């Protein structure tokens, strides 16, 4: 068990190759959502991210992965199945997930958490859009860099993680940002509890095997 918040970054393949992990661990509404994703590689990314989220939630709560599923409710349209994920029965805990082109990330912790992962080669833009979304100070700093692309990407990933952690309430979020060189990924974790990065191997490994 960890007292702070933590995030794990992996490739989609690393997660799907783990024994015992598969669509059988997802709730029926999650499987319906997965079936609606037409592009196979993107479907794999969504599946891997949702499985990684379960493993993070299992580590945080001590529950088995199959019993550590999230609920999602969208305050904009009032429907279930999308919107910020939460853990039913654990109102004090936060969870978050992210996926992008063969990379996945998930996070869990006390309070609020938000995680984002992007391929290191991705370049966010265009600039007018970034101006609306990123803090002015971060844009200015990135512009001073001889090669602003990577700095803009890191600013983007931090902004996404902050956004996913939710609107600022009483407690400010702490930010952890890192580059995962072997996986060519840039990721950030925003959390109200002290944020840490964990390896995939730190997550519970013995999910219930498929019965069908
Ligand atoms: Zn909605």
Q: Are 152 and 186 in contact (CB under 8 A)?
A: no
Give the distance (Å) from ligand 1 centre to CA of residue 69: 20
Residue 22 resides in a domain: yes
Residue 143 resides in a domain: no
Give the distance (Å) from ligand 1 centre to CA of residue 73: 8
Give the distance (Å) from ligand 1 centre to CA of residue 71: 14
Give the distance (Å) from ligand 1 centre to CA of residue 161: 19
Residue 1: per-residue pLDDT:
46
Residue 132 resides in a domain: no
- Provide the 10 A C-beta neighbour count for residue 91: 8
Residue 15 resides in a domain: yes
Output the domain CATH number for residue 28: 3.90.470.20
- Residue ranges making up the domain that contains 65: 5-120+165-202
Residue 188 resides in a domain: yes
CB-based burial label for 85 (10 Å; 0-12, 13-18, 19+): buried
Residue 208: per-residue pLDDT:
56
Residue 13 resides in a domain: yes
Interval 147-205: pLDDT, tens = 889 999 999 999 999 999 988 777 889 999 999 999 999 999 999 999 999 999 999 87
CA atoms within 13 A on the CB side of 148: 13
Residue 49 resides in a domain: yes
- Taking CA atoms, 109 is separated from 85, 103, 114, 207, in Å, by 13, 21, 10, 21
Residue 144 resides in a domain: no
Interval 85-99: pLDDT, tens = 999 999 999 999 999
Give the distance (Å) from ligand 1 centre to CA of residue 36: 16
Residue 206 has pLDDT above 70, yes or no: no
Count the domains in the chain: 1
């Amino acid at each position: 068990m960890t007292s702070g918040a933590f995030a794990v970054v992996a490739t989609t393949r690393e997660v799907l190759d783990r024994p015992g992990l598969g669509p059988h661990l997802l709730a029926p509404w999650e499987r319906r959502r997965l079936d609606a994703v037409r592009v196979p590689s993107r479907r794999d990314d969504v599946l891997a991210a949702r499985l990684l989220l379960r493993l993070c939630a299992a580590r945080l709560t001590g529950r088995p992965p199959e019993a550590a599923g999230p609920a999602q409710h969208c305050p904009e349209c009032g429907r279930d199945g999308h919107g910020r994920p939460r853990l039913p029965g654990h109102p004090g805990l936060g969870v978050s997930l992210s996926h992008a082109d063969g990379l996945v990330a998930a996070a869990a912790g006390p309070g609020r958490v938000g995680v984002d992962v992007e391929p290191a080669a991705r370049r966010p833009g265009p600039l007018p859009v970034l101006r609306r979304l990123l803090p002015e100070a971060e844009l200015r700093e990135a512009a001073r860099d001889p090669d602003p692309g990577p700095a803009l990407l890191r600013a983007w990933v931090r902004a996404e993680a902050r956004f996913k952690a939710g609107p600022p309430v009483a407690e400010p979020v702490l930010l952890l940002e890192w580059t995962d060189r072997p996986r060519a990924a840039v990721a950030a974790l925003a959390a109200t509890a002290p944020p840490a990065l964990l390896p995939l191997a730190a997550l519970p490994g013995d999910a219930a095997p498929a019965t069908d």
